[in-house]
Amino acid sequence: MQRGGAAILRRVVVRNRRSLTMGTALVSVHQLAETMVPISIGVIIDRAVVTGDTSALLVSVAALALLFVVLTSAWRMGARFTVRAMQSEAHALRVEVARRILDPRGVRTDLRSGELLTVSTSDADQASWLCDVVARGAAALTAAAASAVALLVIDVQLGLAVLIGTPVILGLLQLSAPLITRRAADQQSAIARVSAMATDLVSGLRPLRGIGAESAASARYRDASGQALGATLRTAKSTGVYTGVAMTVSALLSVAVAALGGWFALEGRITIGELITVVGLSQFFIEPLGMLASMPGVIAVCRGSADRLALVLDADPLLPAGTGAQPASNEVTLRDVHHRSLQGLDLSAAPGELLGVLAYRPQDAEALVAVLSSQIPSDTYSGDVLVGGTRLEDVGLVHARRTVLVEPHNADLFAGSIRENVTAANRQAPDEHVETVLEASAVGDVVAAHPAGLDHEVTDRGASLSGGQRQRVALARSLVAGSPVLVLHDPTTAVDAVTEQTIADGIADVRHRGATAGTQTTVLVTSSPALLSVTDRVVVIDDGIVVAEGTHAGLVESDENYRKAVLR
């Protein structure tokens, strides 16, 4: 259901209504007590100082002291409730955005990872500012109303000046709110783009150094950062001008009220105590009126952030939830599949088969792996992808992920130990099975190279390991998972020929020999002769369709194109 930024802001208020109600009431009591201070002083002047009544003076001072106790206590507790609402809402929005981003079904959005990070942090914080705006705005309205009533009691013209001037000022200032909203949204978008670019640069720093592109990457980041700075300065300028104009107009209204009160005192229409009350209220009135005048600008910033939150929270999931049970068998079938470069691909892997797939064009291999991953929307491809005779998109998402595991060519590792990475998908794997997998994937060499062994710490994305070491750890992780269907895309491109042959034999041993024979299906998408040599059958794809199939040895003997592609 589409909500939009306005609905998100409404939910901010509704979700925190209890804390906001208490906070707003207490802060309003504080502002009401603030309003009573100049009124009380004026009353003391007229009834105690002018008359010389000592008893009245003592009682009045005691009452004034009690008023200050109420004033400070109400502010302290009201601010506590308001800040609690604001911080709780910011946390709730961050969690909600994170949950949406991490949803196994994915999220249909064009925002990159750095932009999503900005949405889940600064945008969530700024949207929660609405809690503070509600409490302070209500308190400012209370102060304005109380001041207007007091001035009406003293003199009708003074009260009307406040009652008429305040909404006029607020209405005129509200005209600039859309501009501030747009500029705040542009600022957040620019900052998000810079964050996304910084994330990409850090993750790709090693390849950039390898091709000597650091200067070009730095120049791109510098340009994007300059654009973000410009957007920030434009927003700050708009907000600054708005705040300056709002405070100036508020001050002018207060000065006009004080001047009018002085004129009435000279004419004898009001007493000395009432004049002091008018002057005190005119000075005090600047703060609540300034708050009311600044509210449209702050709300505009909140709205801009809420609109960006809606880009994530309102986004449709990429994948259907699926309702089917786990497939009955491990048979994999593709019928007339069109996706990217695939042009009506028909392909099948029998239950328990170790199938090799050689794609002459890399884009065909990438498209095939994407279709089998169950991570692309069904509206981006046509044809049928079946596992155990059931369409993969109809299988429950949890069952689909448990049944088919796709290990991409560029696999990421997590920050943690090698052991934690290897057993990430199967924490209950027996130690004997883990040891077997480590040997099969040649991770034993990686473990032996570090004093801590399996407990050696790996940095985020495996940056502390070489490319070949990352590949082997990722392969071990997929083998430990023991999925009924495993798809491996070029799992050995960064290892030497001897290690590659060891891994090829290890994959066959772990998944297709001994106790596991016939129970698991494996699809190796690769051009490695070592890997293809251990397969039961090889399917050759060119121009998005199957052009040949047979055993590796048979194709080497009979197909010149296959021989040229494999025997390098």
In the chain, how many domains are there? 2
Residue 70's φ and ψ, nearest 5 degrees, are -60, -40
Judge if 176 and 308 occupy the same domain: yes
Domain CATH number, residue 551: 3.40.50.300
Token pair 């021989």 is found at 563
| 416-470 tens-digit pLDDT | 899 999 999 888 888 888 999 999 999 988 888 888 888 888 887 777 788 888 9
What secondary structure does DSSP assign to 352-386, as a single string? T-EEEEEESSHHHHHHHHHHHTT-S-GGG-EEEEE
d(CA 464, CA 446): 12
Judge if 76 and 221 occupy the same domain: yes
Helix/strand/coil for 548: strand
Judge if 188 and 275 occupy the same domain: yes
Judge if 289 and 414 occupy the same domain: no
What is the domain extent for residue 372? 332-566
| Angle, vertex CA 14, rays to CA 11 and CA 19, nearest 5 | 130
Nearest CA among 321, 293, 301, 311 for reference residue 144:
293
The predicted structure's pLDDT at residue 210? 60
- Residue 486's H or E segment, with its range, is strand 485-489
Q: Which of 278, 313, 348 is a domain's end point?
A: 313
Is residue 306 a contact partner of residue 127, using CB atoms and an 8 Å limit?
yes
Helix/strand/coil for 339: strand
| Angle, vertex CA 263, rays to CA 259 and CA 268, nearest 5 | 145
Judge if 307 and 190 occupy the same domain: yes
Does some domain include residue 323?
no
Nearest CA among 35, 59, 32, 40 for reference residue 273:
40
Domain CATH number, residue 235: 1.20.1560.10
Judged on CB neighbours under 10 Å (0-12, 13-18, 19+), 170 is middle
Q: In what order do the strands lie in the sheet with 537-542?
A: 404-407, 485-489, 521-525, 354-359, 537-542, 545-550
d(CA 406, CA 394): 18
The predicted structure's pLDDT at residue 260? 75
Q: Is the pTM of this model over 0.75?
A: no
Token pair of 458, please? 């790996």
Judge if 283 and 390 occupy the same domain: no
| 507-562 tens-digit pLDDT | 999 999 888 888 899 999 999 999 999 999 999 999 999 999 999 999 999 999 99
Q: Which of 268, 285, 313 is a domain's end point?
A: 313
- What does the pLDDT profile of the chain (568 residues) look like in tens digits? 447 888 999 999 999 999 999 999 999 999 999 888 888 888 888 777 777 778 878 888 888 889 899 999 999 999 999 999 999 999 999 999 999 988 888 888 887 777 787 888 888 999 999 999 999 999 988 988 888 788 778 777 766 776 676 667 666 666 655 666 666 666 666 766 666 676 666 666 656 566 666 677 777 777 877 777 777 777 777 767 766 776 676 667 667 777 777 777 777 777 777 777 777 777 677 678 777 777 777 888 888 889 889 999 998 888 777 666 778 889 999 999 999 999 999 999 999 999 999 999 999 999 999 999 888 888 889 999 999 988 888 887 778 888 999 998 887 888 889 999 999 988 888 888 899 999 999 998 888 888 888 888 888 777 778 888 899 999 999 999 999 999 999 999 888 899 999 999 999 999 998 888 888 999 999 999 999 999 999 999 999 999 999 999 999 999 999 999 998 6
Does some domain include residue 318?
no
Does some domain include residue 321?
no
Judge if 432 and 482 occupy the same domain: yes
Residue 50's φ and ψ, nearest 5 degrees, are -65, -40
The predicted structure's pLDDT at residue 420? 92
The predicted structure's pLDDT at residue 525? 97
Does some domain include residue 326?
no
Does some domain include residue 519?
yes
d(CA 483, CA 477): 11
